Structure 1
Amino acid sequence: MAIKTKVIIVALVICVAVLSLCAWKIGQSQEWFTSKGYLVELKPKESKSYLKKHPTGFVMLSWDEESRKVYLSHIKKIAEKKSITVSELNFNQSSIGNRDQQTEYGIDPDQKLDSLAFYKDGKLKSQVFFDEDVKNLEDLDSAIETFIDDMTQIYGTD
């Protein structure tokens, strides 16, 4: 009888763990929890609806694949440090057509490629263009942090 009881308890623990994991994954996809401090890499098909649901916040629009990897590592680290969410759309994906416009994906046409922008109520307020505004990689973290601090102070992040 003791072995049977132990097997039942182990089976119940496994079921609870699996159900908890499933609920957590579903909750993430349905945005039941909105934890701060992370990078959301948007897929082109979902970017417009995601940005409509989150009209205020930071959006990175990337193009150059090599630079993107560098920028993403810095952005992710700073997002976690500052407890903010940064959404990112890689505009150089095969699923994005050559003639597609940024607006088709919820991005303001004035936002430059390889930039980090701040949107308030769906309107582009300001941006930092990595290739022009940041002189070298050593200054990248400082430029990003200053931009985030300035935008948060001026507009808040809801």
Structure 2
Amino acid sequence: MRLDMGKILDILKLTPLYLFPIVLASAAMLFLPVDILKQLGIDPFTVKYKTWIGLTFIISFCFLITHLIYKFTTFVTGKNGDRKLHKFRIKYLHGLTEEEKVILRYYLFHNTRSQKLDLFNGVVSGLIHTQVIYQASSVGDYYGFACNIQPWAWKYLKKNTHLLNPE
């Protein structure tokens, strides 16, 4: 029997949608009582290929468990990471410098989500880096580059305009 690496890689790509029935079927062939296997007519097959069925069960079960653990951890860490990032952003908005307030005030007071800014300005770069605003266009002109306010910042600052009051 020759192993085809392409077929093995295809098996490794199976989703839990396909892995679960494989685990279930192989577990049934391994753990059901012999009289039930005889009634189903699969007793001779099970006896002949028990080693391969067991190997299939172990491998597919491990893949299924690994996939479930991966999905669970990415869900938990993703949600936790989102919360931490949101807290950081809100804290950042509560500690804005006067120069940052001037830039952000323009968006709200002119009721616009875009303005031309100098990307070489450190204050603008800081707001972009903290994802309060973003560069909307890669093409600029004499007045600067179009920079838009992030939707989350727009909503938060609309509700908390006092954060932009001059000191």
TM tier, smaller: 0.3 to 0.5
| TM-score normalised by structure 1 residue count | 0.35
| TM-score normalised by structure 2 residue count | 0.33
Higher fraction of strand: 1
Which of the two has higher C-alpha Rg? 2
